[in-house]
Amino acid sequence: MKRYKFQALVTLGQPAKDGSAPVPAGQTRRMVLRAQHHQTHASQFFTALVTDNGDNPSWLGDDRVIMTVALVGDDTGEYFDIGDQFALWLGSDIGSGVVTRRLFI
């Protein structure tokens, strides 16, 4: 199993009923990501640790954040490369993201 870490621009869906952020700034939360394989286009789910670093520029707006994602898997590079899109799930769909850069561990 290989460790994989990247940053992503995430567009969040509707806020929670209590108004809380899915990932409060500076905290890490376990989530499920769904992504497509580059060649087969089959979807796969991944468990990931997602962190909102809290240093998001104001030009992004309120519904977009830059997050750091860390996950483990054998073929994660076939799903998460720069420019690849994915969905975030936390009991229901909470947003979508695009990989902006890979971070090496």
Give residue limits of the domains in the chain: 2-103
Residue 21 vs residue 73, higher pLDDT: 73
Percentage of the chain modeled with pLDDT above 90: 47
On average, the pLDDT of the chain sits at 85
What is the rounded average pLDDT of the residues 60-71?
A: 83
For residue 19, the SS3 value is coil
pLDDT beyond 90 at 97 = yes
Report pLDDT for 79.
Answer: 93
DSSP state of 9: E
Cα-Cα-Cα-Cα torsion 8, 23, 58, 103, nearest 10 degrees, comes to -30
* Cα–Cα distance measured from residue 97 to residue 65, given in angstroms and rounded to the nearest whole number: 9
Report pLDDT for 60.
Answer: 64
Tens digit of each residue's pLDDT (9 = 90 or more) over 66-85? 899 999 988 898 999 999 99
Using DSSP bridges, classify how beta strands 85-89 and 93-103 pair: parallel, antiparallel or unpaired. antiparallel
pLDDT beyond 70 at 13 = yes
CATH topology of domain 2-103: Elongation Factor Tu (Ef-tu); domain 3 (2.40.30)
